[in-house]
Amino acid sequence: MLMDNTTRAIHSPAVYLDDSHAESIAMTSAYDFHSAADAHARFSGEKPGNVYSRFTNPSVEMFENKLAALEGGDAAIGLASGMSAYLAIAMTFLRQGDHVLLASGIFGTTTHLFRQYFGQFGITATSVQVDDYDAWQAEMRPNTKLMVVESPTNPLMGVADLVKLSTLAKRHDAILVVDNTLLTPVLQQPLQWGADLVLHSAGKFLDGQGRCVGGAIVGRHDLLKPLRAYLRASGICMSPFNAWILSKGIETLKARMNLHEHNARQVFSWLRQQSDIEQVYSTMAADHPNRDVIQRQQTGHSPIITFKLRGDRDHAWRFIDALKLVSRCTNIGDAKTMVTHPATTTHGRYTAEEKQRHGITENLVRLCVGFESPADIIDDLNQALVAAQQPVETAVLVC
């Protein structure tokens, strides 16, 4: 049959990359079906296969499979962001009148989501000190359906005994959700310690270079099935391109986390010796109040180091502004070392009372140690500490 050139161009044979060493990216919105019956069978779930990239995509599935293998879960679900993962969990498992327990001091937007937005629909949320198990027990109610914890917490590096929280959750028929972003499955596998669902803000350490945003949930099939149904209905899906980036990032994750920790140990040791620093928070600390849990539950340490400067907000800001090598950035998990002021950024949505209660003080600074030479990082921190001690006019000249 003779065809117009445009028609011939559109229907030129596809070139497939089955022999490509690097996985190709499935940049497609939809899929071809062999027949009307084939389309029906896939849409109805009678037959496995791709349906629409909102909820089935080979690149996203590749990322999900790799993460599930690392976490030791039945499966995983890739989502648009870490916050969309929290949204999916809440929308799937909560109903009007339900109650949620949140570990205190976790990422401010997570707390804001549950209290502000789900609060509009009759869901209540209570914050509990991450390692106060009597308080967790005391705050449990008949309508408590979710327990949400970061371990370690961001930014004060508090640690939860996941076995104890899991036992409590099962006793009250609640779902224990553990955010494993700060450690990744290389250094901690919460499912092993009784978590029901593990959550990741995937654009952090799983990516490793701050190139994209993504989220993920790992767990049992019976919990993931309704979550995937919500994904299909809501469309909070991960893009194939981001999934491909994250999938390739996972392949180097273990090596990167080891280098993060190697560098962070040297920076942590130096920070502990500085007279201008009041307190340093890290799970590397030998005097960490949850040291026994850390040694049992973790196989390594996050490169997040948080510290209090001797001074106020102005002092902390002068220190941050004086840095020349370290990036002023609220992300974590990058090759570059990054710093932020939690009280006015990541936890800025907390009220003044909540900040005080959770230890988010105005002199608190969070550092995520990257891959630069530790000596160079320390040199930059040192000159910024000196600059921060100078009068404001002098500090500006130093910058």
CATH number of the domain where residue 276 is located: 3.90.1150.10
Is 207 part of any domain?
A: yes
- How, if at all, do strands 144-150 and 304-309 pair? unpaired
- Do 291 and 210 share a domain, yes or no? no
Residue 299: pLDDT over 70: yes
- Predicted pLDDT at 9: 83
pLDDT band at 392 (very low <50, low <70, confident <90, very high): low
Query: Do 233 and 267 fall within a single domain?
Result: no
| pLDDT digit string, tens, across residues 316-336 | 999 999 999 999 999 999 999
* Residue 27 located in a structural domain: no
Model confidence band, residue 62 (pLDDT cutoffs 50, 70, 90):
very high
6 in a domain, yes or no? no
Q: 202 and 53 in one domain?
A: yes
Omega within 30 of 0 (cis) for the link into 185 = no
Q: Which residue, of 251, 276, 305, is where some domain finishes?
A: 251
Fill in the amino acid letter for 239.
S
For residue 222, being part of any structural domain is answered with yes
Token reading at 168: 């409590």
Count helices and strands (H / E) in the chain: 16, 12
Grade residue 181 by pLDDT with cuts at 50, 70 and 90.
very high
How much is the average pLDDT of 122-141? 97
In a domain, 140, yes or no: yes
pTM: 0.94
The answer to whether 203 and 210 are in contact (CB under 8 A) is yes
- 335 and 209, same structural domain? no
Same domain for 212 and 95: yes
pLDDT at 46 over 90: yes
| Element spanning 201, H or E | strand 197-201
**Residue 5 placed within a domain:** no
Domain range enclosing 89? 36-251
> Does the pLDDT value for residue 20 go beyond 90?
no
209 and 291, same domain (yes or no): no
- Residues 295, 366: one domain? yes
The count of structural domains within the chain is 2
Burial of 174 (0-12, 13-18, 19+ CB in 10 A): buried
Query: Is the distance from CB of 388 to CB of 311 less than 8 angstroms?
Result: yes
For residues 148 and 169, the answer to whether their CB atoms sit within 8 Å is: no
Are residues 296 and 385 both part of a single domain? yes
* pLDDT bucket at 399, cuts 50 / 70 / 90: very low
Residue 258 shares a structural domain with residue 368: yes
**Is 9 domain-assigned?**
no
Q: Is residue 62 part of a domain?
A: yes
The answer on pLDDT for 287 being more than 70 is yes
Q: From CA 388, how far away is CA 322, in angstroms rounded? A: 7
State which of 251, 279, 298 marks the end of a domain.
Answer: 251
Burial label, 383 (beta-carbon count in 10 A; 0-12, 13-18, 19+): middle
User: Do 138 and 204 reside in the same domain of the chain?
Assistant: yes
Claim to verify: residue 377 and residue 279 sit in the same structural domain = yes
Q: Which pLDDT tens digit goes with each residue over 226-258?
A: 999 999 999 999 999 999 999 999 999 999 999
Structure tokens at 212: 């994209």
CATH code for position 168: 3.40.640.10
State the pairing for strand pair 304-309/215-219. unpaired
Q: Are residues 122 and 178 in the same domain?
A: yes
Of 224, 251, 278, the domain-final residue: 251
Mean pLDDT across the chain, nearest whole number? 95
The yes-or-no verdict on residue 111 having pLDDT over 70 is yes
**Contact, 320 vs 341, CB < 8 A?**
yes
Distance between CA atoms of residues 207 and 253, nearest Å = 8
